[in-house]
């Protein structure tokens, strides 16, 4: 992954000249988590270097917005706040009107719905903002707001891993059950092989989760960042259920193909949409693994029905 310096370098506009003051403002800004007003950043800069003027901070913020390093957010306070997009995916906000703290979430279901609405209205969407105003849990219970906030990148990685792990578990269940059910020896071998692969991937993902826990022992306690309604119990859960009523091996392979295709698309589509982050990497790696499984299943399906004429519902090649 890019270091912060590489990241700034990469985003420098073509022909843009180096500026020591601007680079300092950018690196201080990138070290912050959360949502800063321009004045918050001015105060932070004053502690670093008294010679940096308010105008330089304002100009640099605007430059960062234009370069895609910073995003401007409006919490309805009569001034803008800024958050950085370095290892920080686009997200929505929950804003507490009692303590003024904001927290973040991301939901593919909400994003899909927003895209559908825009499309139905022939609207070319550039940016969607979802903000939920209200009272946070701490304020409702009269607790002092002390909950530490983890870096979004870490929470995002945790949630991406949870979804990938749930998918692997349901995939393992699917192929293990499939291997018991199919009669054709070759199909049985494929299901066994895929079950073994899911098991291995699962171990890798769980080791990565352990790594996160070592880096931050509180990792499980942060609120969920990534919401996926359909994916939370694993994308193969429905297929595993369908396997119970399967009549022949061809149909079993076909269910596997549908599940792998749906899973590949899911992880690719969201992985590509996320901004540079560990979560993005987890999704894209997973999409590649699912694609390999899909290709293997399609080859096996074709081998199994090789002597038959192509029939309705035979699998399409991998898109």
Residue 75 has φ and ψ, to the nearest 5°, of: -95, 20
Q: Of 36-44, 95-103, 199-207, 269-277, which segment contacts Zn ion by CB under 5 A?
A: 95-103
Asked if 104 is part of the footprint of Zn ion (rule: CB under 5 A), the reply reads yes
Q: Which of 16, 49, 72, 98 binds Zn ion (CB under 5 A)?
A: 98
Q: Of 11-19, 22-30, 103-111, 206-214, which segment contacts Zn ion by CB under 5 A?
A: 103-111
Q: Which of 44, 110, 139, 303 binds Zn ion (CB under 5 A)?
A: 139
Distance CA(126)–CA(107), nearest Å, equals 17
Distance CA(235)–CA(266), nearest Å, equals 9
Q: Which of 290, 173, 292 is nearest to 237 (CA)?
A: 173
**Residue indicated by tokens 């895209």:** 115
- CA 107 to centroid of chain Cα atoms: 9
104, 152 in Cβ contact below 8 A?
yes
Least distance to Zn ion, CB of residue 90, Å: 9
Asked if 151 is part of the footprint of Zn ion (rule: CB under 5 A), the reply reads no
Residue 133 has φ and ψ, to the nearest 5°, of: -100, 145
Asked if 99 is part of the footprint of Zn ion (rule: CB under 5 A), the reply reads yes
Least distance to Zn ion, CB of residue 40, Å: 14
Q: 53-79 burial, b if ≥16 CB within 10 A, otherwise e?
A: eeebbeebbebbeebebbbebebeeee
Asked if 173 is part of the footprint of Zn ion (rule: CB under 5 A), the reply reads no
Least distance to Zn ion, CB of residue 136, Å: 3
The tokens describing 101, both together, are 């703290």
Site string for Zn ion, 175-214 (x = CB under 5 A): ----------------------------------------
Q: Which of 30, 83, 108, 235 binds Zn ion (CB under 5 A)?
A: 83
Asked if 106 is part of the footprint of Zn ion (rule: CB under 5 A), the reply reads no
Least distance to Zn ion, CB of residue 250, Å: 49
Asked if 96 is part of the footprint of Zn ion (rule: CB under 5 A), the reply reads yes
Least distance to Zn ion, CB of residue 8, Å: 20
Q: Which segments of the chain are extended strands (E)? A: 36-37, 70-74, 80-84, 92-96, 102-107, 131-134, 226-227
* Closer residue to Zn ion (CB): 99 or 113: 99
Q: Which residues bind Zn ion (CB under 5 A)?
A: 83, 96, 98-99, 104, 136, 139
């Amino acid at each position: 992954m890019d270091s912060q310096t590489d990241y700034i370098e990469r985003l420098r506009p073509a022909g843009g000249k180096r500026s020591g003051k601007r680079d300092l403002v950018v690196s201080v800004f990138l070290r912050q988590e959360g949502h800063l007003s321009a004045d918050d950043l001015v105060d932070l800069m004053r502690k670093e270097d008294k010679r940096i003027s308010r105008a330089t901070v304002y100009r640099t913020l605007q430059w960062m917005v234009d370069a895609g390093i910073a995003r401007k957010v409006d919490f309805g306070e009569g001034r803008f706040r800024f958050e950085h997009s370095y290892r920080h995916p686009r997200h929505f906000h929950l804003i507490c009107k009692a303590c003024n703290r904001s927290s973040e979430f991301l939901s593919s279901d909400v994003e899909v719905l927003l895209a559908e609405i825009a499309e139905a209205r022939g609207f070319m969407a550039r940016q969607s903002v979802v903000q939920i105003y209200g009272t946070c849990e701490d304020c409702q219970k009269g607790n002092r707001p002390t909950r530490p906030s983890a870096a979004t990148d870490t929470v995002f990685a945790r949630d991406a891993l949870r979804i990938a792990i749930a998918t692997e578990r349901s995939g393992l269940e699917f192929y293990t059950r499939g291997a018991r059910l199919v009669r054709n020896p070759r199909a049985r071998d494929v299901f066994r092989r895929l079950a073994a692969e899911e098991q291995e991937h699962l171990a890798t993902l769980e080791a990565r989760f352990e790594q996160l826990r070592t880096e931050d022992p509180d990792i499980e306690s942060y609120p969920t960042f990534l919401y996926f309604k359909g994916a939370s119990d694993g994308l193969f859960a429905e297929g595993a259920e369908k396997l119970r009523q399967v009549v022949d091996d061809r149909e079993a392979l076909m269910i596997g193909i549908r599940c792998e295709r749906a899973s590949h698309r899911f992880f690719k589509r969201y992985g590509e949409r996320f901004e540079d982050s560990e979560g993005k990497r987890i999704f894209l790696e997973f999409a590649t693994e699912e694609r390999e499984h899909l290709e293997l299943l399609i080859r096996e399906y074709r081998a199994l029905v090789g002597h038959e004429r192509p029939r309705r519902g035979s699998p399409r090649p991998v898109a």
